[in-house]
Chain A
Amino acid sequence: MIIRRTMKIALMGVSLAMFAVSAASAKTLVYCSEGSPEGFDTALYTAGTTFDASSKPVYNRLVEFKRGTTEVIPGLAESWSVSEDGLEYTFNLRKGVKFHSVDGFAPTRDFNADDVIYSFGRQLDKDHAWHSYTAGASWEYFNGMSMPDLLKEIVKVDDYTVKFVLNRPEAPMLANLAMDFASVLSAEYADTLEADGKMEMMNQVPVGTGPFQFVGYQKDAVIRYQAFADYWGGKQPIDNLIFAITTDASVRLQKLKAGECHVAPYPAPADIADIKADANLTLMEQEGLNVGYLAYNTQMAPFDNPKVRKALNMAINKQAILDAVFQGAGQAAKNPIPPTMWSYNKAIEDDAFDPEAAKKMLEEAGVTDLKMKIWAMPVQRPYNPNARRMAEVIQADFAKVGVEVEIVSYEWGEYLKRSKETDRDGAVLLGWTGDNGDPDNFLAVLLGCDGVGGSNRAQWCHQPFEDLIQKAKTIADKGERTKLYEEAQVIFKEQAPWATIAHSVVFMPMSTKVSGYVMDPLGGHWFDGVDIAE
């Protein structure tokens, strides 16, 4: 035992020494990440911090999002075709794609269809040897995107052709396959681990085909990667990538200023001006693919009356919220999808801020002396950095039209649970960040009839709207889908199940030495193609 341990340490020492030597003479980019990854088997998790450390540097997917957009482009699949009925997706896989090598595993073959079958099969099939390979394994993103209902089977046509057969047409299917949970793992590595009785290592030492290969993780401190020399997408400009885990935003900024890291996400809003003034730093910014909203319970009086909801929307001073809560780092929302998403209906006019008219409309609707609750989230989110403050601003606005507001809040888990109840009192502050850049991911999830009692916090089921979004789901043509979603947004605005509040702006500070970094509208952090001046 002692000899084995000593040998293991010695071996580790050799590989670490090699990394250290290369680190000393090579280009190393340090990213001050905001938290620790939960693990490295992407599909087991739902957090962006985990995806940044696992799926993005280490893995690839059959299709990918073109960097900086939500456009789907070829990844491990060179091309694909969709059957006329929209039920079969056939992927032609890329040849000559290599997997990484790690301690105890050196791949003997290139990527092929078996890896795709393994990566999805373990999530889909409850009897698969890898379905419950680690304690408490659950495939929440896969389940959350309804993949078990959607996928009928995945067929290996030949070594380089795979067919996905669906139970129903699903236009966002390709975008779903570009998501993190659809990362492709090595079936050969899985077999090796299974044979060695070390299956849990799949979540600790990842092996993928991505631009960076995993070197080591010191829990809650540092993750190290090396550029993968055989990467099918070409050699990376940097040699080493290091994630220095730094949870506090102020400390991240100090590290960035001191040159201890080169890229540091999620700056504190109060530090933005300071960063902009620093000649050694660059501040990139992008509109986030998100929306913050106030959802009325449309099944409870008087919020079952669209006129009442519309009147209340007109009483909200969004500019005051942008100033007080977002400190300028946001823009007023008029639609339930963000302006960076395709099918966003620019023609829609937002409700005017007009307390007098709002008061009159409420009187016309027979609503006087209304008392209601506004639920304020207990956590910070990009779409709502300070829900309590936002609730207070709305409380003051509503008071001006004669509506008395009581602000309530619960622990986050409780908040999410109670706000789903159909007999819930009042209006809930919440929001959403897009998963795959498809409008269906906002409109169907948050406002579809299936979401009532669940993710549809307005408990709003309006058949004309529902018909449009269901139809759009079954059509492959993007132009046609766009028309349907634009129409759906018009209905949404008329019916006003939410007060759409804001879309946030995401900032990314980095050293001026860094070049080639592209911000991801989906909120991920990618380092392939990024360079650093020496």
Chain B
Amino acid sequence: MFRFLIGRLALLVPTFLGVTIVAFGFIRLLPGDPVLLLAGERGITEERYNQLMEQFGFSRPIWEQYFDYLVGLLQGDLGTSIVTKKPVVTEFFTLFPATAELALCAIILAVAIGIPAGIFAAVKRGSFFDQTIMGTALIGYSMPIFWWGLLLIILFSGILQWTPVSGRISLMFFFPQPTGFMLIDSLLSGQKGAFASAARHLILPAIVLATIPLAVIARQTRSAMLEVLGEDYVRTARAKGLTPFRVVGMHALRNALIPVITTIGLQVGVLLAGAILTETIFSWPGIGKWMVDSIARRDYPVVQGGLLMIAAIVMVVNLTVDLLYGLVNPRIRHN
């Protein structure tokens, strides 16, 4: 297990280095640069343009900029935003809790509904329920997030007025946020109604963000369960007279969960990508919206720093998933 862990960690180093090259190169491949966008229609003299490019360090050879970037990284410095003039690390950790809270709620929702739905569809294979669940999953998977979000807002916030339109909490509540997680901070604040308000604000964005992962998890669970339910040991268990609940819940599900866990792990990347649109619709102050704005402004340090941090999170989550296999299925122990 230890050797496996070391091996995986060692593999992370070249992967991480690769990500730095992609993150650094990607934004520079796009036409335009931050100084031109800063000037806008007003324009800028060539002299001033050159001055600013030099001030931001963009006039130096690209390899030199990359090398400096790597040196900064080793010291934990992701650079400073050209626009807000704040360190990228500070901005990231200010916004990340909002994204993490939303993504966590979305994945919990997706797993809590997706796995039982998949199991049910597999057990009742070919039935009306199976067709309905899988049909709904397909629609969910194909749903344009922006349109879906607006639709829910118009229905639940506009017409029915059950949920707030956007934001993380009612503007009436104002308290320190030591953790950045609104559900926790609202509880810590002790203000009456704050937690309920934060929870109500989470409902629609969590549903929207969970839609695609839920569909994928439900479909994956169904197909994994169908495969396992056809195995000899399941037939044996049934022959032994075990209750259907024990056969499905204890014997089949545990083995079927392995590909499902892989899928859940991979959904973290999907969630972070989905967060970009969800955060924009629901005015959710997270890293997705931050990245989109920064790409539009060609804020090089933010884009490369943000990409790197997101990639690091995805890598860590996937490593954790690999380690979890062993817990779920003793046959996959990394000796």
Tell me the A residues contacting B by CB distance below 8 Å.
Answer: 9, 12-13, 16-17, 19-20, 23-24, 28, 30, 35-36, 38-39, 44, 46, 134-138, 140, 143-144, 200, 203-204, 216, 218-222, 224, 242, 244-248, 250-251, 254-255, 257-258, 260, 410-414, 416-417, 420, 430-432, 451, 454-455
B165 touches A251 (CB 8 A): yes
Bound: A209/B56 CA distance, A: 32
B283 touches A20 (CB 8 A): no
Bound: A38/B177 CA distance, A: 22
CB nearest neighbor in A for B168: A221
Closest 4 CB pairs of A and B: A413-B32, A220-B285, A413-B36, A221-B285
CB nearest neighbor in A for B37: A413
B285 touches A13 (CB 8 A): no
Tell me the B residues contacting A by CB distance below 8 Å.
Answer: 30-33, 36-45, 48, 52, 55-56, 80, 82-86, 91, 94-95, 98, 150, 153-154, 157-158, 161, 164-168, 171-178, 191, 280-283, 285-286, 289-290, 293, 298
Contacts of A414 in B (CB 8 A): 31-32, 36
Bound: A432/B42 CA distance, A: 8
Interface of B is mostly: loop
Given pairs A13-B175, A248-B280, 14 additional interface contacts (CB within 8 A): A9-B176, A16-B175, A20-B172, A38-B84, A46-B38, A136-B85, A138-B52, A144-B39, A203-B84, A220-B289, A224-B174, A251-B283, A258-B161, A413-B37
Contacts of B85 in A (CB 8 A): 39, 44, 134-137, 200, 203
Interface of A is mostly: mixed
Q: Closest Cβ of chain B: how far from A239's Cβ, in Å?
A: 13
B42 touches A413 (CB 8 A): no
A23 touches B283 (CB 8 A): no
Contacts of A39 in B (CB 8 A): 83-85
A9 touches B178 (CB 8 A): yes
CB nearest neighbor in A for B95: A219
Contacts of B293 in A (CB 8 A): 35-36
Bound: A401/B255 CA distance, A: 73
CB nearest neighbor in B for A258: B165
Q: Closest Cβ of chain B: how far from A100's Cβ, in Å?
A: 18
Q: Decide: A136 near B82, CB < 8 A? Known: A20-B174, A219-B94.
A: yes
Bound: A292/B153 CA distance, A: 35
Q: Decide: A251 near B289, CB < 8 A? Known: A17-B175, A420-B43.
A: no
Bound: A30/B281 CA distance, A: 19
Question: Could you list 27 examples of A-B contacts with CB < 8 Å?
Answer: A13-B175, A20-B173, A20-B175, A36-B293, A38-B84, A46-B40, A46-B42, A144-B39, A144-B42, A200-B85, A203-B85, A204-B86, A216-B174, A219-B91, A221-B167, A224-B174, A244-B171, A246-B166, A247-B280, A247-B283, A247-B289, A251-B150, A254-B154, A255-B166, A260-B166, A412-B37, A432-B41
Q: Decide: A411 near B32, CB < 8 A? Known: A16-B175, A135-B85, A242-B171.
A: yes
Bound: A245/B86 CA distance, A: 19
Q: Closest Cβ of chain A: how far from B144's Cβ, in Å?
A: 14
CB nearest neighbor in A for B51: A138
Q: Closest Cβ of chain B: how far from A528's Cβ, in Å?
A: 20
B52 touches A412 (CB 8 A): no
Bound: A36/B164 CA distance, A: 21
A136 touches B80 (CB 8 A): yes
Bound: A250/B177 CA distance, A: 29
Contacts of A246 in B (CB 8 A): 166, 283
Bound: A106/B46 CA distance, A: 43
Q: Decide: A416 near B36, CB < 8 A? Known: A24-B172, A220-B289.
A: yes
Q: Closest Cβ of chain B: how far from A78's Cβ, in Å?
A: 32
A16 touches B84 (CB 8 A): no
CB nearest neighbor in A for B79: A135
B173 touches A413 (CB 8 A): no
B48 touches A218 (CB 8 A): no
Q: Closest Cβ of chain A: how far from B295's Cβ, in Å?
A: 11
Contacts of B39 in A (CB 8 A): 46, 140, 144, 416
A135 touches B32 (CB 8 A): no
B55 touches A455 (CB 8 A): no
Contacts of B56 in A (CB 8 A): 136
Bound: A204/B286 CA distance, A: 19
Q: Closest Cβ of chain B: how far from A116's Cβ, in Å?
A: 24
Q: Decide: A30 near B30, CB < 8 A? Known: A39-B85, A136-B55.
A: no
Contacts of B290 in A (CB 8 A): 220
Q: Closest Cβ of chain A: how far from B292's Cβ, in Å?
A: 9
Contacts of A143 in B (CB 8 A): 48
Most buried by A among B150, B171, B172: B171
Q: Decide: A16 near B158, CB < 8 A? Known: A200-B85, A248-B281.
A: no
Q: Decide: A430 near B41, CB < 8 A? Known: A219-B285, A258-B158, A411-B30.
A: yes
Contacts of A430 in B (CB 8 A): 41
Contacts of B95 in A (CB 8 A): 219-220
Q: Decide: A251 near B36, CB < 8 A? Known: A144-B42, A260-B165, A416-B41.
A: no
Bound: A247/B285 CA distance, A: 11
Contacts of B82 in A (CB 8 A): 136
Q: Closest Cβ of chain A: how far from B211's Cβ, in Å?
A: 18
Bound: A257/B48 CA distance, A: 46
CB nearest neighbor in A for B94: A219
Bound: A416/B164 CA distance, A: 40
A16 touches B280 (CB 8 A): no
Q: Closest Cβ of chain B: how far from A178's Cβ, in Å?
A: 18
Contacts of A413 in B (CB 8 A): 31-33, 36-37, 298
Say which residue of B43, B150, B283 sits within 8 Å of A245 (CB atoms). B283
Contacts of B153 in A (CB 8 A): 250-251, 254
Bound: A28/B170 CA distance, A: 13
CB nearest neighbor in A for B283: A246
Contacts of B41 in A (CB 8 A): 416, 430-432, 455
CB nearest neighbor in B for A9: B176
B45 touches A454 (CB 8 A): yes
Say which residue of B31, B40, B91 sits within 8 Å of A410 (CB atoms). B31
Bound: A228/B131 CA distance, A: 63
B31 touches A135 (CB 8 A): no
